[in-house]
């Protein structure tokens, strides 16, 4: 069974540009979450989608946005890039969202460098 | 102060040693506790998943949760060089509107042959 697939693996952008990252969840998984990982802050929650609806959002500015498609694939967009946005962006999928916690399975991430 | 605190290490042990990794937390609503292992240039991999207090064992790994002390631990027995990685604790609260994992910053472990 294929794992969570993230593309691209590496990206280099300049300040002010915008970027779109893609995530394909494990087959059958309907929930997709995004996390930002930096050496200083560790892993921080960005947002979570289930059935094309954003269910939960972390404390990030509006420049960070996402969406989920009907096939559960998800994209994340960052507009007006800043140097501090340089990070590893991780996507995770789980089987469902409900009152009971679900196990998250992570992709290998997209390493974004902003120059 | 972050909700989840974890000593970043690095922690260096000889092969065969017992490793103890720990996290403390401040949010009493946390009920789900996880340990992830992350190799360089890879995403985190789920190692252990525990609900509420108690112990859980899986092969060489044992996870312990003490909710009264807000303290969780991961023990690795007979450590191997292949265990060298960053170990992240994560936890979350029960929610009907989706959930977010709260991570520690990770402990870097090096097991030397």
Query: What does the DSSP assignment read for B6-60?
Result: E----EEEETT--EEEEEEE--TTEEEEEEEEE-TTS--EEEEEEESSEEEEETT
Percent of chain B with pLDDT strictly greater than 70: 95
Question: Does A31 sit within 8 Å of B103, measured CB to CB?
Answer: no
Residues from chain B that touch A43, judged by Cβ atoms under 8 A, are: 44, 88, 90, 101, 103
Instruction: Answer whether A101 sits within 8 Å of B31, measured CB to CB.
Output: yes
- pLDDT, residue B101, reads 86
Please write the tens of the pLDDT for every residue from A59-102: 999 999 999 999 999 999 999 999 999 999 999 998 765 545 66
pLDDT band at A1 (very low <50, low <70, confident <90, very high): low
Residue A27 clears pLDDT 70, i.e. is over it: yes
What's the mean pLDDT in A34-38?
96
For chain A, the residue count is: 115
- Of the pLDDT bands very low, low, confident and very high (cuts 50, 70, 90), residue B84 is very high
Q: What average pLDDT is seen over chain A?
A: 92
Interface test with B, best of A42, A47, A59 (most B CBs within 10 A): A42
Residues of B in contact with A10 (CB under 8 A): none
Distance separating alpha carbons of residues B56 and A81, to the nearest angstrom = 43
Contacts within 8 Å (CB) and 24+ apart, A66-75: A66/A34, A68/A32, A72/A25, A72/A29, A72/A30, A72/A32, A73/A22, A73/A23, A73/A24, A73/A25, A73/A32, A74/A22, A74/A23, A74/A25, A74/A32, A74/A34, A74/A49, A75/A20, A75/A21, A75/A22, A75/A23
| CB contact (8 A) between residue A43 and residue B49 | no
pLDDT in tens, B26-50: 999 898 899 999 999 899 999 998 8
Are A31 and B98 inside 8 Å of each other by CB?
yes
**B61-82 pLDDT per residue, tens:** 999 999 999 999 999 999 999 9
């Amino acid at each position: 069974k294929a794992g969570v697939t993230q593309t691209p693996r590496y990206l280099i952008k300049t300040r002010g540009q915008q970027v779109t990252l893609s995530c394909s969840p494990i087959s059958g998984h309907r929930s997709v979450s995004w996390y930002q990982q930096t050496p200083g802050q560790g892993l921080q929650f960005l947002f979570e989608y289930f059935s094309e609806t954003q269910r939960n959002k972390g404390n990030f500015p509006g420049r960070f946005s996402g969406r989920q498609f009907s096939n559960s694939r998800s994209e994340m967009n960052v507009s007006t890039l800043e140097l501090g946005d340089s990070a590893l962006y991780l996507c995770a999928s789980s089987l469902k969202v409900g009152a009971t916690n679900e196990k998250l399975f992570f992709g290998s991430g997209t390493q974004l460098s902003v120059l | 102060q972050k909700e989840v605190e974890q000593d970043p290490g690095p922690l260096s042990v000889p092969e065969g040693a017992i490793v103890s990794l720990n996290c403390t937390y401040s949010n009493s609503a946390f009920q789900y506790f996880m340990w992830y292992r992350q190799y360089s240039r890879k995403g985190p991999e789920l190692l252990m998943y525990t609900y509420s207090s108690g112990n859980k064992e899986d092969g060489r790994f044992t996870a312990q949760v003490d909710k009264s002390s807000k303290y969780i631990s991961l023990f690795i027995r007979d450590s191997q060089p292949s265990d060298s990685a960053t170990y992240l604790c994560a936890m979350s609260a029960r929610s009907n509107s989706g959930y977010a994992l709260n991570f520690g910053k990770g402990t870097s472990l090096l097991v030397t042959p």
